[in-house]
């Protein structure tokens, strides 16, 4: 009897962990085929601020609620990629910001936090996308935040301050990148800029297609450069975009990514493309679980777009990673942890959207009704009163991207009782992060690397050093 149990258990164990021989052969052939071959194209995908817990929870949510594994995790389970842990430190701290990591990836040097491709002694390091443009490749960036934000900018420009977004928009106009898509109308629109410069006009003179709405993506002229600015500020969070009909004419990250690839894929010298899910980071700063999971899954949709192209093309190095962790969210043990975590599927909007809907003239019952409608659980009177205190000016909550001083931390602590998700902070963390590579050049990836090593691997695919 005990022997039968052992054999049954052994079979189960071997079934769980044995590789399918066909998958193993396919993976080996893929890696063998890429040895020594340089990639014609490079696509680097960055889920900004993605802690490992974010990747795990997005996959678990996808499995339990959507009935399928995430595309990122499928790359692991199907043994399609080289995988590593990456050290994200900057020149000034073991805990980095996006500008410093983007400079490490895009410029090949560790700089101080807040700086773009300028060394500690003022030395200028030419960003990778400028190098590749000189080599004759097309180059582009797409993001869900402002296109002038730290992560895309780190691949494109030099600046002593990541906050110089109006100036970065103007720099882009002079550098001739082929695809720029995201948010940030306030940095291009003369009516919104303090200096009244018409940056859209500079791009128009250079024969760019200017896209403003999702529908514009369907009418692009093939091969022609694109400036797509689809919102003032960042693009909306994925879950808000899905459930708020007024946001429907703003494109998704996957849609922008597909258009970017289609515009550049036939170029004889190849292309380089950066794809960023910037609002994973913003949601983590707000301890906003619906924002984190749904924006990570929107990034995952973009992974499918990229991999569908790369697997067919077989000439593209795909790099999938994050720049740093943020807030390190995770599912906390509870006897009903599974049920509680799955209740997140009832969340119709982000916490930002919900908390922005409350005003100082709300009463306790109105707050309780709103939360029940948006999140599907009931507040106590005490909790509702605590929330109301923020709107009465009794308490203020600070935090990056918390311009309206919304009670993000308090509300996430209330939600934790119902969803079993906890957070260690509301800011970046210094943990090592996930890094995956597919295609020519991926065989160069070692199990543990620094962020600057990714730049080296990209540049090894180039004739320009």
pLDDT of residue 35: 60
Around Cβ 223, how many Cβ atoms within 10 Å? 12
- What pLDDT, on a 0 to 100 scale, did the predictor assign at position 34? 53
CA-based end-to-end distance of the chain: 66
Q: List helix spans (H) across 267-315.
A: 279-285, 289-313
Residue 394: its pLDDT value, please?
Answer: 67
In whole angstroms, how far apart are CA 252 and each of 53, 229, 239? 23, 13, 11
Q: Go through 410-421 and write b for each residue having 16 or more CB atoms within 10 A of its CB, e for each that does not.
A: bbbebbbebbbb
For tokens 């959207």, the residue is 353
Q: What is the DSSP letter of 68?
A: S
Query: What pLDDT does residue 144 have?
Result: 98
Burial of 405 (0-12, 13-18, 19+ CB in 10 A): middle
pLDDT given at position 4: 41
Token couple for 446: 């070692």
β-bridge pairing 271-277 and 316-321: unpaired
- 29-329+430-459 has which fold? Alkaline Phosphatase, subunit A (3.40.720)
**Rounded Cα–Cα distance for residues 139 and 272 (Å):** 5
- With 0-12 / 13-18 / 19 or more C-beta atoms within 10 angstroms meaning exposed / middle / buried, residue 335 is exposed
The boundaries of every CATH 3.40.720.10 domain in the chain are 29-329+430-459
Structure letter (DSSP) for residue 116: B
Residues in Cβ contact with 248 at an 8 Å cutoff, skipping those fewer than 6 apart: 214, 241
122: part of which helix (H) or strand (E)?
A: none
What pLDDT, on the 0 to 100 scale, is given for residue 5? 40
Give the per-residue pLDDT at 411.
97
Mean pLDDT of each 10-residue bin along the chain, 465 residues long: 40 40 40 68 98 98 97 98 98 97 96 96 95 97 98 98 97 97 98 98 98 96 95 98 96 98 97 98 97 98 98 97 98 96 98 96 97 98 94 75 85 97 97 97 97 97 63
């Amino acid at each position: 009897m005990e022997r039968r149990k052992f054999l049954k258990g052994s079979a189960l164990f071997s079934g769980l962990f044995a590789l399918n021989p066909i998958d193993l052969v396919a993976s080996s052939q893929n890696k063998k085929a890429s040895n020594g071959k340089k990639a014609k194209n490079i696509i680097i995908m960055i889920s900004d601020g993605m802690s490992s817990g974010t990747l795990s929870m997005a996959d678990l949510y996808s499995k339990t609620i959507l009935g399928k594994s995430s595309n990122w995790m499928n790359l692991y389970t199907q043994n399609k990629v080289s995988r590593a842990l990456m050290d994200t430190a900057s020149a000034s701290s073991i805990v980095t910001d996006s500008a410093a990591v983007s400079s490490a990836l895009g410029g090949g040097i560790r700089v101080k936090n807040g700086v773009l491709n300028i060394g500690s002694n003022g030395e200028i390091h030419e960003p990778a996308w400028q190098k590749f443009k000189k080599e004759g490749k097309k180059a582009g960036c797409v993001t869900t935040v402002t296109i002038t934000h730290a992560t895309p900018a780190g691949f494109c420009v030099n600046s002593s301050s990541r906050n110089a977004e109006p100036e970065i928009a103007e720099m882009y106009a002079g550098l001739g990148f082929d695809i720029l898509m995201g948010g940030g109308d306030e940095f291009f629109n003369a009516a919104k800029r303090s200096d009244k410069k018409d940056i859209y006009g500079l791009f128009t003179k250079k024969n760019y297609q200017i896209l403003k709405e999702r529908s514009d993506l369907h009418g692009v002229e093939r091969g022609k450069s694109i400036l797509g600015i689809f919102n003032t500020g960042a693009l909306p969070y994925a879950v808000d975009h899905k459930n708020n009909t007024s946001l429907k004419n703003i494109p998704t990250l996957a849609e922008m990514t597909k258009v970017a690839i289609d515009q550049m894929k036939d170029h004889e010298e190849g292309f380089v493309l950066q794809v960023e899910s910037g609002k994973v980071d913003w949601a983590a700063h707000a301890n906003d679980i619906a924002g984190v999971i749904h924006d990570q899954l929107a990034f995952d949709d973009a992974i499918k777009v990229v991999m569908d192209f790369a697997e067919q093309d077989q000439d593209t190095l795909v790099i999938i990673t994050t720049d740093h962790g943020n807030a390190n969210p995770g599912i906390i043990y509870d006897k009903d942890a599974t049920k509680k975590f799955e209740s997140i599927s009832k969340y119709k909007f982000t916490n930002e959207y919900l908390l922005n809907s409350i005003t100082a003239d709300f009463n306790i019952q109105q707050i309780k009704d709103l939360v029940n409608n948006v999140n599907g659980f009931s507040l106590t009177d005490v909790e509702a009163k605590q929330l109301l205190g923020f709107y009465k000016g009794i308490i203020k909550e600070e935090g990056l991207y918390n311009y309206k001083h919304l009670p993000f931390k308090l509300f996430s602590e209330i939600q934790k009782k119902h969803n079993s998700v906890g957070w260690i902070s509301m800011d970046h963390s210094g943990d090592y992060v996930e890094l995956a590579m597919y295609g020519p050049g991926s065989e160069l990836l070692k199990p543990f690397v620094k962020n600057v090593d990714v730049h080296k691997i990209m540049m090894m695919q180039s004739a320009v050093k």
